[in-house]
Amino acid sequence: MSGVWVWIENRDGAISIIGSETISAARTIADSLGQTVTGLVLGHDVAGVADEAFDLGVDAVIGCDDASLAHFRVEAFGPLVTRLAQENTPSVLLAGASIRGRDLMAWVAADLDAGLISDGIGIAVDGDTIKVTRPVYAGKLMATVFVTEGPQVITLRSRAFPQAESTGKSGTAQWVEPAVAEEAVPSKITGLETKDEGVSLSDASIIVSGGRGVGGPEGFEPVRELAEVLGGAVGASRAAVDAGWIAYEHQVGQTGKTVSPDLYIANGISGAIQHQAGMRTSKIIVAVNKDADAPIFKLAHFGIVGDLFQLLPAITSEFRKRLGK
């Protein structure tokens, strides 16, 4: 059993951010183990993705280019990865902890009878074992977990690892046949509705959030303006979402999204434990709140006690000036 495998998530012919992050984590693990990195490039019209994978530092690519893989369906991808892993016996299988990465690794681990760890935010190699740190109990505790036997199947949370950098290397992919013919895939995708409204919360390196303190749907305007100037995404507390001021997909927290941007600016958010669960691993946290005793200040690195309707426009115009926008 040898080799670090990484499923390279891609979309529209390019490696996704989380795909690039997983490659860099795979590289780190493989270098410590003294093993090679094999990238799995699965999709349709993905020759360019294979080239990009070599450039980002994988040593080998096993690819499958087939119309049945044009959109991710775990019933098509799962049996293929399982078959390849049975034939080649890698010691580690990695994927991003995206919706698709989770589905794929859960499927493959079940079929390989392998140990599975999800949502890693840190890795350390100890002998042949990958020690994975991950939050548990909604981020209230941490755990260091590892697979005790057989292939180690691990998903990694987005933004926890740096993106892989261009190496200028190239290589020749090994192309294989799909495992399941289209007719035999038990599900069909009949509709796709992609939304393109700026930066997604899970990929964003900057998030500007609003809570009940913004007072209403129009209160999100200054929040949006600051996010826009910073090229960031807009987040929200559940109180703001429940009030109907902003859509659920913006909710950060235990029952919303877990994010970990470089910069998280919380405006008019008290910092309830369920909100913290979704954002406490952010690198720098800024809180703007008119209540000096709000719990968010216990978590924040920088705080301003005051009215967000005065402070946000001032911060936005200061950034505009400094960024020349």
Partner 1 sequence: MRVVVCTKQTPSTTAVITVDAEGKVSWDDPGGKPNVVNPWDEYGIEEGIRLKENHGATDVIALSVGGEDSKEALKTSLAMGCTEAVLVSDESMVGSDTLGTARILAAAINKLGDVQIALFGKQAIDGDTGQTAVQAARKLGWTPLTFVSAIKEVGDGSIVVERMLEEGKEIISAQLPVVISVVKEINEPRYPSFMGIRKASRAQIPSWSAADLAIDGGIGAGASKVDWSQVYGIPPREGSVEIIEADTAEEQARILVDKLFEEKVI
Ligand X SMILES: Cc1cc2nc3c(=O)[nH]c(=O)nc-3n(C[C@H](O)[C@H](O)[C@H](O)COP(=O)(O)OP(=O)(O)OC[C@H]3O[C@@H](n4cnc5c(N)ncnc54)[C@H](O)[C@@H]3O)c2cc1C
Give the residue, chosen from 136, 181, 216, 291, that forms a contact with partner 1 under the rule CB under 8 A.
136
The residue range among 69-77, 139-147, 185-193, 265-273 that interacts with ligand X, by the rule CB under 6 A, is 265-273
Residues 6+ apart with CB under 8 A from 99: none
Work out whether 311 is an interface residue with partner 1 (CB under 8 A).
yes
Binding partner of residue 290 among ligand X, partner 1, none, CB under 5 to 8 Å per kind?
Answer: ligand X
User: Per-residue string for binding with partner 1, 35-74, x by CB under 8 A?
Assistant: ------------------------------------x-xx
Least Cα distance to 319 among 256, 188, 231 occurs for: 231
Least Cα distance to 265 among 310, 217, 212, 315 occurs for: 315
Work out whether 239 is an interface residue with ligand X (CB under 6 A).
yes
- Write the Ramachandran bin of 198: left for phi over 0, alpha for psi from -120 to 50, otherwise beta: left
- Cβ of residue 322: shortest distance to ligand X, in angstroms? 23
User: Per-residue string for binding with ligand X, 281-300, x by CB under 6 A?
Assistant: -------xxxx--x------
Work out whether 275 is an interface residue with ligand X (CB under 6 A).
yes
**Residue 91: both structure tokens together:** 């010691």
Angle at 172 between CA 16 and CA 75, to 5 degrees: 50
φ, ψ for residue 285, nearest 5 deg? -115, 130
Letter string b/e over residues 50-88, b meaning 16 or more CB atoms within 10 A of that residue's CB: bbbbbbbbbbbbbbbbbebbeebbbebbbbbbbbbbeee
* Nearer residue to ligand X within complex by CB, 80 or 277: 277
- Cβ of residue 272: shortest distance to partner 1, in angstroms? 9
Binders of partner 1 among 72-101, rule CB under 8 A? 73-75, 98-100
* Nearer residue to partner 1 within complex by CB, 63 or 135: 135
Work out whether 317 is an interface residue with partner 1 (CB under 8 A).
yes
Is there a contact between 121 and 281 (Cβ–Cβ < 8 Å)?
Answer: yes
**Residue 83: both structure tokens together:** 């078959």
Which spans of this chain sit near ligand X (rule: CB under 6 A)? 211-213, 237-240, 251-256, 268-270, 272, 274-275, 278, 288-291, 294, 307-309
